[in-house]
């Protein structure tokens, strides 16, 4: 009886550890996917690829940028932002993007971003939603200023 109980406990512990390990791998995989979606989002603006941009955002997404130099808050819906990129009013830059502090909680994720070029620096946060198994940007809130 003690052997059966010990064997059962050992089996449960092994099963639990494999489940939790799998969950950690899933979160690691999700974090990598989130970083990639954010990078693709930024790069699609840089190369003015409105098609790729529209695939990386949910239809109800909002983009907020506080421009410190003009002391102005810009607020765009997903469709407005995609149209600005499509019409050449946004994008066409060569920037680097750094994604950090990625946090995944089920189907919601957030990350800190730093986007820079030789003159400007944009710092902020992105939230994403997993939509039918695909991560998409729901909001981007950034501050734009001079790159000192």
- The answer to whether 111 and 101 are in contact (CB under 8 A) is yes
| 137 C-beta neighbours (distance < 10 Å), count | 25
Rounded to whole angstroms, the Cα distance separating 97 from 108 reads 21
Per CATH, domain 2-146 is 3.90.1150.10: no
* pLDDT for 137: 98
Q: What is the 3-state secondary structure (H, E, C) of 46-96?
A: HCCCHHHHHHCEEEEEEEEEEECCCCEEEEEEHHHHHHHHHCCCCCCCCCE
* pLDDT for 94: 96
- Nearest 5°: the CA angle 96, 53, 137 is 85
3 state SS of 147: coil
* pLDDT for 26: 58
Q: Global pTM?
A: 0.81
Rounded to whole angstroms, the Cα distance separating 25 from 6 reads 28
If phi > 0 it is left, if psi is from -120 to 50 it is alpha, else beta; for residue 107 that is: alpha
Which residues, other chains included, contact 52 with Cβ-Cβ below 8 Å and sequence gap of 6+? 40, 44
- Per-residue model confidence as pLDDT tens for the chain (148 residues): 555 444 444 343 333 333 344 444 557 789 999 999 999 999 999 999 999 999 999 999 999 999 999 999 999 999 999 999 999 999 999 999 999 999 999 999 999 999 999 999 999 999 999 999 999 999 999 999 999 8
Domain ranges of the chain: 2-146
* pLDDT for 142: 98
């Amino acid at each position: 009886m003690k052997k059966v109980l010990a064997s059962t406990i050992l089996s449960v512990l092994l099963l639990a550890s494999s489940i939790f390990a799998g969950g950690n791998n899933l979160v690691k995989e999700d974090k990598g996917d989130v970083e990639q979606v954010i990078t693709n989002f930024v790069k699609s603006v840089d190369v003015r690829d409105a098609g790729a941009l529209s695939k990386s955002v949910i239809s109800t997404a909002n983009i907020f940028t506080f421009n410190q130099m003009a002391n102005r808050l810009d607020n765009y819906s997903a469709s407005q932002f995609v149209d600005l990129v499509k019409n050449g009013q946004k994008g066409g830059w060569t920037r680097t993007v750094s994604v950090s502090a990625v946090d995944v909680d089920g189907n919601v994720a957030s990350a800190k971003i730093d986007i820079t070029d030789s003159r400007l620096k944009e710092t902020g946060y992105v939230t994403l939603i997993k939509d039918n198994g695909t991560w998409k940007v729901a909001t981007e809130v950034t501050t734009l200023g001079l790159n000192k």
